[in-house]
Amino acid sequence: MATGLDAMLATLEAEGVAVVRSVPDSATVEPEVLHRCGMIGLSATSAAVMLWRANVGTPVLSSEPNGRPIAVGVCRENFREKIGVVFWRKRTARGWNGEDVPLVDAVAGIVWLLMERELGQCDTYGSASIDTLTALLNQRTFVTEATRHIARLDRDALPGTLILAEVDNLDGISPLQGSDDGDLMLRRAAMLLRSAVRPTDLVGRTGSAEFAIWLSGADYLTAAERAENLCLEPPNAESDTAVSEVSFSIGIATRQPGENFAELAQRAGEAMRQVKREGGGYWRVSLGKVA
């Protein structure tokens, strides 16, 4: 990590860098500095406060009152914490500008990969980003990557749609059948979801029986077509067990201008739960923000 951070300092013409873990109440909770390299500069608390204002894919460029240029990029985030990289330049150096944004964002992604390797968290699929049961993205990584995609939508004037799908009949597997049958059903659900979308779409397991799909460049009409195909998926002809007959409750929400991932997920989740309350096995679209 130290070697990587040192190289990044030279690339970004920075005087110092810190990798910081920040929480929502970063102004009062002492942040954790995970790594530091170069000259001592910005305080950890100031770095954490700036980090919480940034998002994955949208670095924050600013400066201290004394004129020191600051750049903040988010490596990974969830609803409880953010891990990010903070760079600072000399007070007499040039300020950060728009041309630095994609570079800072790319560096933040590299820092996260270095952290995963450093902690020995890489698995068979190349990182700890994968749910080991289904080989899909895990919740943390799905949220992070979907947020990164969302950050680009307004810039590229493209739609984006979130699909949340919960397996209806997982609870129907009796204790006598055992956990292996439940795992088989989840793996089949993952296979069905992966086969229903493009290779470039994001698919993740976001709960014990809940999955999520992110469709960049697609609206709710495209998503509804995919959902319809999932709901009409015939049982596996080679097996007469309940494991092969996966049923989904599906909620769909297309992002509205200015809407963040949490708001989008709230709408898709409410649509999914409404289907669940009505018996499952179908899909519903949320057309507006939840009040």
How many whole angstroms separate alpha carbon 115 and alpha carbon 133?
A: 23
One digit per residue, the tens of pLDDT, for the chain of length 291 reads 788 888 888 888 899 898 988 776 655 566 788 888 888 776 777 777 778 777 777 788 988 877 889 999 888 776 567 888 999 998 888 999 888 888 888 788 788 777 766 655 444 334 467 888 888 888 888 988 888 888 878 777 889 999 999 998 776 554 444 456 778 888 889 888 988 888 778 999 998 899 999 998 999 999 999 999 988 865 444 444 444 578 999 999 999 988 888 899 999 999 999 999 999 999 999 987 644
Q: 28 Cβ partners below 8 Å, 6+ apart?
A: none
Using CB atoms within 10 A of its CB, is residue 187 exposed (0-12), middle (13-18) or buried (19+)?
Answer: middle
Residue ranges making up the domain that contains 244:
139-286
| Cβ neighbour number for residue 181 with a 10 Å cutoff | 16
Whether residue 152 sits in one domain with residue 277: yes
* Cβ contact 25:54 at 8 Å: no
Whether residue 28 sits in one domain with residue 65: yes
CATH number of the domain where residue 108 is located? 3.30.450.40
> Does 52 fall in a domain?
yes
CATH number of the domain where residue 207 is located? 3.30.70.270
Whether residue 145 sits in one domain with residue 50: no
> Does 124 fall in a domain?
no
DSSP conformation class of 121: -
How many whole angstroms separate alpha carbon 85 and alpha carbon 113?
A: 13
What integer pLDDT is reported at residue 173 of this predicted model? 55
Q: Render 173-195 in DSSP notation, one character per residue.
A: S-TTT-HHHHHHHHHHHHHHHHH
How many whole angstroms separate alpha carbon 123 and alpha carbon 126?
A: 5
User: Which of 118, 152, 174 is the endpoint of a domain?
Assistant: 118
Whether residue 165 sits in one domain with residue 93: no
Question: Which helix (H) or strand (E) is 85 found in, with range?
Answer: strand 82-88
Number of domains comprising the chain: 2
How many whole angstroms separate alpha carbon 81 and alpha carbon 251?
A: 26
| pTM of the entire predicted model | 0.57
Question: Could you tell me which residues are beta bridge partners of residue 130?
Answer: 137
Whether residue 273 sits in one domain with residue 169: yes
